[in-house]
């Protein structure tokens, strides 16, 4: 509704991350409309770490949504973009994938897999005219994180959108939101495991 009010033409297509068999059909409808300049792969679920540790089925649902569903959708979109010879695929990853934390390692591991997949896909598509950009936001104040205490360097959907736009203009391959997280996560990633385990994260 907001986009239409701004003069945009909007079409919607039903999509289910947990139905990879239906991804080619669902996403094919989008590409059948004509060339696509940019695909924003932005879906996922946080899950409930305490519950999911006790319920493997729930943990698998997080993994299948955030990783398997994204791999399937990403490959379908990448193939369509490659066929048209141009376009950008923007993949919303997360700083949680940089190093799994005790507090959310199920979610973090799914994002780590997605991040590695997207980087590899970007390498595979290099030189084809298709640009893959991985976006690594920190804690974003959205419906998914409603009710959770904000983490340091928390950001907003508007800030993520602005960073995505700038990254597309620069044809960046990796974007951190906010940018300071790149330094923070580099330090955390290299901490000895025994030290990292004692941090209140």
User: pTM score, two decimals?
Assistant: 0.89
Per-residue model confidence as pLDDT tens digits over 15-26: 999 999 999 999
The mean pLDDT of 134-150, rounded to a whole number, is 79
Give CA torsion, residues 44, 123, 39, 100, to 10 deg.
Answer: 20
Would you give the distance in Å from CA 45 to the centre of its chain?
A: 11
Task: Find the farthest-apart pair of alpha carbons in the chain and give their distance in angstroms, rounded.
Answer: 55
| DSSP structural state of residue 142 | S
> For position 100, what pLDDT does the model report?
86
| Of residues 142 and 73, more confidently modeled | 73
Confidence band, pLDDT 50/70/90 cuts, at residue 32: very high
Q: In what order do the strands lie in the sheet with 87-92?
A: 38-41, 87-92, 130-137, 174-177
* Mean pLDDT of all residues belonging to the chain: 92
- CA 173 – CA 123 distance, rounded (Å): 10
For residue 122, give the nearest of 106, 135, 141, 109 by alpha carbon: 135
Catalytic residue among 59, 66, 96, 107: 107
Per-residue model confidence as pLDDT tens digits over 33-55: 999 999 999 999 999 999 999 99
Tokens describing residue 199: 């941090």
* Residue 67 annotated among the catalytic residues of the structure: no
């Amino acid at each position: 509704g907001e986009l239409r009010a701004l003069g945009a033409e909007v079409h919607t297509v039903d999509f289910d991350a947990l139905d990879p068999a239906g991804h080619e059909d669902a996403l094919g409808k989008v590409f059948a409309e004509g060339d696509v300049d940019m695909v924003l792969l932005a879906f996922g679920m946080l899950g409930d770490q305490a519950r999911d540790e006790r319920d493997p089925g729930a943990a698998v649902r997080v993994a299948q949504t955030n990783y398997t569903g994204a791999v399937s959708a990403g490959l379908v979109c990448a193939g369509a973009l490659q066929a048209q010879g141009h376009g950008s695929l923007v993949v919303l990853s997360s700083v949680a994938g940089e190093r799994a934390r005790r507090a959310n390692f199920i979610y973090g591991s799914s994002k780590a897999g997605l991040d590695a997949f997207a980087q590899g896909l970007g390498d595979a598509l290099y030189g084809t005219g298709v640009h893959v950009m991985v976006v690594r936001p920190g804690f974003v104040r959205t419906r998914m994180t409603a009710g959770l205490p904000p983490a340091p360097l928390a950001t907003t959907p508007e800030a993520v959108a602005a960073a995505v736009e700038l990254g597309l203009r620069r044809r960046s391959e990796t974007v951190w939101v906010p940018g300071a997280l790149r330094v923070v996560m580099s330090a955390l990633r290299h901490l000895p495991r025994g030290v990292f385990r004692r941090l209140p994260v």
